[in-house]
Amino acid sequence: MLLHAKIPNGSGGLGSLVETFLPWFGLCIPVLLAGALWRRSASAVVALLLPVVVWLNLFGGLLGDKSQPDSDLTVASHNVGADNLQPASTARELAASGADVLALEEITAQAKPLYEKELAKAYPYHAVLGTVGLWSKLPLSDTRPVDIEQDAGPLGDTKSAEVKLAYNRALRATVTTDHGPLAVYVAHLGSVRVTPRTGFWTDSRDRNAQALGQAIAAERNERVVLLGDLNGTVGDRALDGITSQLHSVQDAAGDGFGFSWPASFPVARIDQILVRGVEPASSWVLPATGSDHRPVAAGISW
């Protein structure tokens, strides 16, 4: 846990894999404690202070409730899942959350009309570009796709603009608030997989993260919110290009770890709300829907 940054991330992506599940290494501590008590070894019990202190130094700050009661704007993000069999009820549940700005990822062409219909009453403004969308109670402007593929794979230059847009996985829009314009990014980074042949395969995710980091670096608005499924935790070094510019609302104003995936038994927070130029007031995870992810929400203040 102490030297996780020194674990190489070359072949097999071992470093990123460890960093994704790093909090769970704390489960080794009670196992070691049981062994120390079974051996009746006072020195072993004392030695356990090292991993306890290291774990608390890394994650102790997440254990308390750091939320504030009031916020100026509530934002939410949800990977609704391409295999979601209940898109209409998912949309209704999200609308009932009270979020002022709502980002959806993994929207299929078949489910898009259902989301638009069910969210229309609560959110008069919306934009869907490819598989990501943004719904808002406040006016939207300057909505445009963000190219996070860097002309790779099926979205290369040989494809038409229409085909690229159909597969678009990130967008940027301006939300007009009483406090001024807010730049909102919605992104769904590439999937990661663990296989015997490749190990922790993250090539697509890492490429997308680098491109998204460059887009955020070029953003002129000082107030920025990123909503999306980043397929990685904020502790994963592959997201450094993003997390070096934006900070996590969960780390700053959450209550606990805020794990969001998988929905049935969350073990990692890969659905993120990151901000710059605004203050996180609160952060929480919403109840499960028909997706394999849980929605995440946050209150932010100026």
Interval 208-225 mean pLDDT = 98
pTM value is: 0.93
What does the pLDDT read at residue 150?
Answer: 66
Q: For the residues 28-49, what does the mean pLDDT come to?
A: 93
What domains lie within the chain, and their CATH numbers?
4-62 (no CATH), 73-301 (3.60.10.10)
Given a contact cutoff of 8 angstroms between Cβ atoms, the answer to whether 48 and 42 are in contact is no
Confidence of residue 190 (pLDDT cuts 50, 70, 90): very high
**Any idea what the Cα angle at residue 228 is, between residues 226 and 233, rounded to 5°?**
95
DSSP class of residue 264 equals T
Average pLDDT over the chain reads 94
Task: State phi, psi for 85 to the nearest 5 degrees.
Answer: -90, 0
Output Rg (C-alpha) for the chain, integer angstroms.
20
55 pLDDT more than 80: yes
- The pLDDT value recorded for residue 154 is 47
pLDDT band of residue 229 (cuts 50, 70, 90) is very high
Average of per-residue pLDDT across 58-62: 94
Residue 159 pLDDT greater than 70, yes or no: no
> Using CA atoms, how far apart are residues 79 and 66, in angstroms rounded to an integer?
25
Highest mean pLDDT among 11-25, 142-156, 197-211, 218-232 belongs to 218-232
* Sign of torsion over alpha carbons 25, 31, 37, 39: negative
d(CA 38, CA 40): 5
Quote the CA–CA distance of 54 and 233 in Å, as a whole number: 19
What is residue 132's predicted lDDT score, i.e. its pLDDT? 98
- Say what the pLDDT of residue 149 is: 87
How many Cβ atoms are within 10 Å of 215's Cβ, its own excluded?
Answer: 16
